Amino acid sequence: MSEPASISAGIAARYATAVFEIAEESKALDSLESSINDLAAALADSEDLRNLISSPLISRDEQGGAITAIADKMGLAPVLRNTLALMAQKRRLFVLPALLTALRARLAEARGEVTAEVISAKALTKTQSEKLAKTLAERVGKKITINATVDDSIIGGLVVKVGSKMIDSSIRSKLNSLQNAMKEVG
């Protein structure tokens, strides 16, 4: 992980812990989750919002006013709204995407869920995805949520990451292994 990314992740983790604990104490985890999803969708859809959180040309006061107005308009959970205002005041809105990721991870952990990152050469069908989730749940002992992406460069097979474990059954990795074995022989 690069240094700026690890700094952002560290800042985001601290904010996520605080936001999650406050929401948990006030029994507002469902409201927090819906706010996280809404804010993530807004970030994905709006280049202006992405510029607002990352531009050094926008002053603290302008960032704070804008993000508070956006949070009010979207009806975000009060704990998230207040955190966004504090982050703007401290010039830390740039970590918002990492904060949303960290909060989603905390919510999943509280529900006993684990997210499996799955990379396949072709999009998985609903049946394949459900079967994979069931198989992984039996192995891990927790409910599995599949986050599937398509990468046709793996040629075929799957690359599955659950926590710190990775299973790479892609044809690309098998070809690379075969190529390495042939280099060692010759």
Give every CB contact of residue 113 below 8 A, 6+ residues apart in sequence. Answer: 142, 143, 144, 145
pLDDT in tens, 8-41: 888 999 999 999 999 999 999 999 999 999 999 9
Q: What structural domains and CATH numbers belong to the chain?
A: 3-109 (1.10.520.20), 113-185 (3.40.30)
Which of 110, 112, 113 has its CA nearest to residue 25?
Answer: 110
Q: Residue 90 above 70 pLDDT?
A: yes
pLDDT for residue 4: 66
- Does this model's pTM top 0.85? My answer is no
Mean pLDDT of 99-118: 90
Higher local confidence (pLDDT), 186 or 31: 31
User: By the 8 A CB rule, do 158 and 119 touch?
Assistant: yes
- Report pLDDT for 1: 46
Q: What is the mean pLDDT of residues 101-114?
A: 89
